[in-house]
Chain A
Amino acid sequence: MGAILIAVFAALALLISGNPWGIVYGPALWVAKIGQSAGVIDPTHNWFWSLPGNAALLQQTVLLDVTTITNIGILAGALWVSAGKPASHKSLTGKQWAVALSAGLLLGYSSRLAFGCNIGAMFSGISTGSIHGWIWAPMAFAGTIFVLRIRRRLGY
């Protein structure tokens, strides 16, 4: 049932917005806006952010970005689901925090380099007939074999 709902909403997102469903573009845009405002990033000297479509999105509120809107929906949905579950009493150790934060940064950065995460590159890639998604999937699963072992070793 969940898979069918995801497929229906992904198809609706493609139909209404004209873009396949994606995730990592949103956080990239948020950080780029903060970086631009702080003077850390000059979008005119950046290949990706100087492209006309991306440059235009940098100049307007993120609420006009489709990926941002769908990401807010994902975050709100995650909050809703987690609210119904009992909070974990097991705190993470300093090492687990460091590994988790590093892994998150690595995931975000590599997703952008791969032009999408499991949603934007794999799910949307395969569902829109791109070979990109078919290459992405076995690579991700190969990496998962190692990461699951690392995760078990660190006691998450």
Chain B
Amino acid sequence: MKTWGLRTVFWVLFAVFMAWDYVASPPVDLRRELAPFAAGSGHAPQGGHCSMPD
């Protein structure tokens, strides 16, 4: 398969996954306002990163 074909397949699958995930997940709470700068906000990050969890 040509490179452009593989690229297209990848992006179509990725877009389908994102759309499915958005529809299947609970709605996003748009009123939940996060601190503009998480670092120093007093909330230690839990999960969502590569390092070993506590």
Q: Spell out A's residues near B (CB within 8 Å).
A: 14-20, 22-25, 30, 33-34, 37, 48, 51-57, 59-67, 75, 79, 82, 87-88, 111, 115-117, 119-121, 124-125, 130, 132
Task: Check if B45 sits within 8 Å of A87, measured CB to CB.
Answer: no
Q: How far is the CA of A88 from the CA of B44 in the complex (A)?
A: 46
Q: How far is the CA of A21 from the CA of B26 in the complex (A)?
A: 26
Interface of B is mostly: loop
Task: Check if A53 sits within 8 Å of B45, measured CB to CB.
Answer: yes
Interface of A is mostly: helix
A128: nearest residue on chain B (CB-CB)? B51
Give 7 CB contacts A-B under 8 Å.
A15-B37, A20-B49, A55-B47, A116-B50, A121-B51, A124-B50, A132-B51
Chain A residues with CB under 8 A of B45: 17-19, 53
Chain B contact-residue range equals 20 to 34
Chain B residues with CB under 8 A of A65: 48
Chain B residues with CB under 8 A of A75: 14
Chain A residues with CB under 8 A of B53: 48, 51, 53-54
Top 6 closest pairs, chain A to chain B, by CB: A53-B47, A120-B50, A53-B46, A18-B38, A22-B50, A116-B50
Q: Contacting A87 at CB < 8 Å: which of B3, B24, B47, B48?
A: B3
Chain A residues with CB under 8 A of B49: 19-20, 22, 25, 66-67, 120
